[in-house]
Amino acid sequence: RAWVPGKQYSVIPGVLSFMSIRNTERLQELEDWQRQNAVEVDCLFASLKPFVDDYLPFAEDWGPLSMGTLFKFSEFLSPALADAQASGKRLVLYTDSRAQNRTNAATLLASYLVFERGYTARAAWKPFHFTTRSPFMSYQDASFDPVTFSLSPLDIVEGLERAKAFGVFDPARFDRLFYESCQEPATADCTEVVPGRFVAFKGPRKHRFVSAADGLIFLEPRDYFDIFRKIGVTTIVRLNEVSYDARDFTDAGFKHYECYFPDCTTPTEEVLEIFFNICRECEGVIAVHCKAGLGRTGLLIAAWMMRKHMFTSRQAIGYCRVMRPGSVLGLQQEFLDDNQALLWQMGDPDLPSDDNGPADCRPGSASEIRERWCWARKEAYPYAKGVGPLVQRLSRVDSRERLNSSPGKPGPVLRGTGGTPPASSHFGDSFGRRRIPGRRGSSQWGSDRSLNSLNRTGSGASTASEAGSVKEGILSDGMQSSPIGTLSRLGSAASGSASEPPEPAGGGFARVSS
Residues catalogued as catalytic: 290
Positions of E strands within 270-336: 285-290
266 with 451: CB under 8 angstroms?
A: yes
Helix (H, G, I), strand (E, B) or coil at 209: strand
Beta-strand pair 255-258/233-238:
parallel
321 with 328: CB under 8 angstroms?
A: yes
HSE-up (13 A, CA, CB side) for residue 120: 3
Helix (H, G, I), strand (E, B) or coil at 451: coil
SS (H, E, C) 159-208: HHHHHHHCCCCCHHHCCHHHHHHHHCCCCCCEEEEECCCEEEEECCCCCC
497 with 458: CB under 8 angstroms?
A: no
DSSP characters over 128-139: G--SSS-S-PPB
- Find the helix or strand (DSSP H, E) in which 302 lies: helix 295-309
What's the rounded Cα separation, in Å, for the pair 419 and 383?
A: 10
